[in-house]
């Protein structure tokens, strides 16, 4: 009370109440910036932890790529994003700096591939349609290397075969690409078993190497002897064998394809090793017959035109194909001071095929599987001695294609195989068709020699005479017309009447002769009677013939027995 | 005596900050409370500078993630796009919508940062006991107090857009973590402005004048 009074005395301002001091030395407010710092630090740490490696990918073009937007996807999962795009110092490439997810650290190794995924129609399939709306993204395939890399070069085209796919790669040597592309299917017995992975022009530019991938269960059907061929679209060929059309599936007609098969005799061989090189043939026929083992070459010389004889044209033995034409050249031969130029045709014969065609090859091989050269020489010499000759024949009159036929020509002048030259020279004769041509020419020459003018004059005179004769005939006909026609008309009318009468008569007769008419039945009865009478007479005649005496004595008892 | 008059502190008095009652402080300096409303009394808010500094620093720290983290993620079938505040401004900066870009830039970038700088300036000048242009500094303080409630523009835009654009699966918008940090910056700054005692601005000059006088 005293205090209050004192305060009132001091001033009219009321005195504050005294409370205990509670404040600590350091303000608790400092917790707030600490929390803020912790939050910020936590975010930063999280951001750093979530930050994967930054890599550099080099593209030939950044079309469709956008910094900060375009993502890197591995099997559809986002694993990175493009930070920035810039042009390389040499201005040839675009360098993209890509922020990858932390889990990709172990994926960025030697062999890892990146490519731009765009909408793409290839190999009979449409892919990346989603990118039409969402924009392109970068596809990723993890390599199998161990060396970690920080810069990559993007593939120009997406890899056709996933790195995880089971199977084997093979290489094909081709002369041209045909209608192949990445992802072009490969067929085995019309079943799609793989696809074209890549192709590249050879260093020397003379051919292409196509890398194909055959999927796992089917890759064991690729043997060392397997043949690959282009099954691209429709394959027409018009040759000495006529028109031939070959196709694979409808898909391959549209987009092309490759096919392979193994000749049946090699079907049990071991599967081919990875990256085995095969030759790519143009079609199935050449593929399946091409590398014949132990082909024998012969030379044929022809003095006639070989127009229409193509390389690859068949050589037949009595119509069975046993070889083909390897080359057609000209050959000059000097005889004393004269020079003879003739066509030189090199043919390849396949003895194994010849044996395969034999119903019983043992007759020729004498129990062995193959013919020895000595046996072959002897056999060929004998066949030639019997008149076997090579001859050019026309396979098709339409195309004029020629082929080499080995036929027996009994009238051929004696000849023999020249074994000394290499390759041996097989005797040839003029082709039948060219023979016909020569004969036709001689006929034409004779026709040309005919006195056609004189014949023409004679013909003209004959024709004039004929014209006159015809005029006479004409007059005669007119006379006939005037004099004979009325008579003829009358006769015709009478004739018609007679015919009508006859018709009526026949009508009556027809009625009488109808099967159910009385006349008919009576007639039938009569005929039966007559037949019986005739029978009796025949019996009588027979009896009388054997027993002429009966005519005088009557029937004897003995004869009746 | 100058035009501002003698301060209560110099006369041993203090004004209650709630009911406005002016009371004399007890002679041995200690904690006191208002006899009318019970509010604790202080001549100057206790540890005002320390608190304001702490809050300002906290706001500054929060300001970093607020600007680095995305405030909004727009999902469309074409992909998801996340935007930070500055990216939003850059995106708005086009011949047609540049005024909007300026509004967003001013409201979301300039003002929060300006507030923090202004607070730091006030604190520094008070701590150094500067005597110059104290009227301008008081005006600056009033501006800070006034403007505080208007700097939530970005947060408002974000909440509205997120609530309205939910056309799943065609298009939808998700809030980003940045918006929480941004809201925290605004709130912490407002608290900092409130914890600053403007009376400190003219304390020192008056003491000096009294000392001179």
> Is A17 close to B32, i.e. CB distance below 8 A?
yes
Mean pLDDT rounded to a whole number for chain A: 81
Q: Do A43 and B22 touch (CB under 8 A)?
A: no
Q: Which residue in B has a C-alpha nearest to residue A31's C-alpha?
A: B54
Tens of pLDDT, residue by residue, chain A (561 residues): 444 555 445 556 777 776 665 555 666 778 888 888 888 888 888 878 877 888 999 988 888 888 878 888 888 888 888 888 899 899 888 899 998 888 888 888 888 888 888 777 655 566 667 777 777 888 888 887 888 888 888 888 777 777 677 888 899 888 888 777 777 888 888 888 888 888 888 888 888 898 888 888 888 888 888 888 887 666 666 666 667 776 666 666 667 788 888 887 777 778 888 888 888 888 777 777 655 566 788 888 888 888 888 888 888 888 888 888 888 888 888 877 788 888 889 888 887 777 777 787 777 777 666 677 788 888 888 888 888 888 888 876 667 788 888 888 877 788 888 888 888 888 888 776 666 777 788 888 888 888 888 888 999 999 999 999 999 999 888 887 777 777 888 888 999 999 999 888 888 877 776 767 777 788 888 999 999 999 999 998 898 888 888 777 777 665 444
Cα(A421)–Cα(A404) distance, integer angstroms: 20
Q: Are A165 and A75 in contact (CB under 8 A)?
A: no
Q: Do A18 and B77 touch (CB under 8 A)?
A: no
Q: How far apart are the first and last CA of chain B?
A: 9
Q: Quick one: pLDDT at residue A535?
A: 92
Write down the pTM of the prediction.
0.47
Q: Which of A16, A30, A32 sits opposite B32 (nearest CB)?
A: A16
Residues 6+ apart with CB under 8 A from B74: B80, B81, B82, B83, B165, B171, B172, B173
Angle (deg, nearest 10), helices B48-68 and B85-92: 60
Residue A36 forms contact with B (CB below 8 Å): yes
Cβ pair A43:B51 closer than 8 A: no
Residues of B with a Cβ under 8 Å from any A Cβ are 13-14, 21-26, 30-35, 40-41, 46-47, 50-51, 54-55, 57-59, 61-62, 64-65, 68-69, 77-79, 81, 177, 181, 184, 188, 195
Q: Residue B181 and residue A7: Cβ atoms within 8 Å?
A: no
Asked if A159 reaches chain B (Cβ–Cβ under 8 Å), the answer is no
Q: Are B115 and B144 in contact (CB under 8 A)?
A: yes
Which residues lie closer than 8 Å to A89 by C-beta, 6 or more apart?
none
User: What is the rounded CA–CA span in Å between residue A70 and residue A81?
Assistant: 6
């Amino acid at each position: 009370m005293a205090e209050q009074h004192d305060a009132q005395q001091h001033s009219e301002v009321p005195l504050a109440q005294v409370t205990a001091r509670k404040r600590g030395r350091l303000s608790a407010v400092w917790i707030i910036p600490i929390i803020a710092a912790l939050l910020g630090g936590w975010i930063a740490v999280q951001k750093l932890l979530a930050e994967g490696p930054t890599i550099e990918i080099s593209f030939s073009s950044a079309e469709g790529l956008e910094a900060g937007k375009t993502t890197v996807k591995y099997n559809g999962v986002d694993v990175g994003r493009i930070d920035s795009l810039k042009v390389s110092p040499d201005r040839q490439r675009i360098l993209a700096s890509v922020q990858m997810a932390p889990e990709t650290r172990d994926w960025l190794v030697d062999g890892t591939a990146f490519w731009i995924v765009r909408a793409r129609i290839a190999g009979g399939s449409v892919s990346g349609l989603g990118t039409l709306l969402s924009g392109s993204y970068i596809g990723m395939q993890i390599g199998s290397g161990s060396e970690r890399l920080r810069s990559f070069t993007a593939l120009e085209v997406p890899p056709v075969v996933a790195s995880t796919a089971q199977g084997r790669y093979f290489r094909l040597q081709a002369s041209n690409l045909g209608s192949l592309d990445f992802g072009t299917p490969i067929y085995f017995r019309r079943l799609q078993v793989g696809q074209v992975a890549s192709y590249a022009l050879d260093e020397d530019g003379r051919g292409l190497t196509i890398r194909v991938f055959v999927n796992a269960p089917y890759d064991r059907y690729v043997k060392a002897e397997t043949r690959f061929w282009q099954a691209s679209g429709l394959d027409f060929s018009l040759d000495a064998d006529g028109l031939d059309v070959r196709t694979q599936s409808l898909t391959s007609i549209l987009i092309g394809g490759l096919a392979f098969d193994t000749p049946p005799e090699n079907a049990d061989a071991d599967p081919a090793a990875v990256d085995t090189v095969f030759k790519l043939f143009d079609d199935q026929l050449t593929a399946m017959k091409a590398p014949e083992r132990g082909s024998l070459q012969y030379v044929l010389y022809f003095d006639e035109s070989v127009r229409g004889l193509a390389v690859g044209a068949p050589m037949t033995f009595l119509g069975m194909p046993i070889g083909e034409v390897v080359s057609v050249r000209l050959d000059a031969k000097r005889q004393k001071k004269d020079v003879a130029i003739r066509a030189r045709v090199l043919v390849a014969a396949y003895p194994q095929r010849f044996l395969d065609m034999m119903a019983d090859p043992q007759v020729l091989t004498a129990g062995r599987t193959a013919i020895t050269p000595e046996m072959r020489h002897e056999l060929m010499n004998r066949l030639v001695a019997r008149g076997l000759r090579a001859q050019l024949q026309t396979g098709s009159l339409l195309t004029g294609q020629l082929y080499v036929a080995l036929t027996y020509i009994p009238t051929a002048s004696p000849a023999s195989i020249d074994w000394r030259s290499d390759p041996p020279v097989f005797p040839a004769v003029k082709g039948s068709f060219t023979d016909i041509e020569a004969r036709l020419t001689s006929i034409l020459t004779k026709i040309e020699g005919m006195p056609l003018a004189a014949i023409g004059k004679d013909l003209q005179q004959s024709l004039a005479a004929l014209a006159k004769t015809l005029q006479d005939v004409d007059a005669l006909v007119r006379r006939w017309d005037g004099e004979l026609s009325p008579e003829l008309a009358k006769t015709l009318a009478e004739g018609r009447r007679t015919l009508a009468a006859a018709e009526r008569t026949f009508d009556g007769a027809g009625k009488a002769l109808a099967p159910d008419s009385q006349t008919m039945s009576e007639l039938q009865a009569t005929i039966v009677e007559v037949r019986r009478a005739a029978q009796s007479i025949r019996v009588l005649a027979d009896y009388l013939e054997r027993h002429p005496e009966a005519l005088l004595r009557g029937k004897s008892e003995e004869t009746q027995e | 005596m100058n035009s501002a008059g003698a301060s209560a502190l110099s006369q041993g008095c203090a004004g209650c900050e709630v009911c406005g009652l002016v009371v004399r402080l007890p002679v041995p300096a200690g904690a006191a409370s208002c006899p009318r409303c019970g509010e604790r009394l202080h001549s100057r808010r206790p540890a005002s500078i320390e608190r304001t500094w702490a809050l300002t620093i906290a706001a500054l720290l929060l300001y970093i993630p607020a600007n680095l983290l995305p405030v909004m993620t727009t999902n469309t079938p074409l992909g998801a796009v996340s935007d930070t505040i500055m990216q939003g401004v850059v995106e708005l900066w086009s011949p047609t919508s540049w005024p909007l870009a300026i509004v967003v830039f001013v409201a979301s970038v300039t003002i929060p940062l300006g507030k923090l700088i202004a607070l730091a300036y006030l604190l520094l000048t008070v701590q150094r006991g500067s005597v110059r242009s104290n009227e301008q500094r008081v005006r600056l303080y009033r501006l800070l107090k006034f403007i505080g409630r208007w700097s939530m523009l970005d947060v408002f835009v974000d909440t509205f857009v997120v609530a309205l654009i939910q056309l799943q699966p065609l298009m939808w918008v998700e809030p980003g973590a940045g918006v929480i940090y941004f809201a925290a910056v605004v709130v912490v700054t407002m608290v900092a402005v409130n914890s600053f005692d403007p009376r400190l601005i003219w304390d020192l000059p008056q003491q000096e004048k009294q000392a001179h006088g």
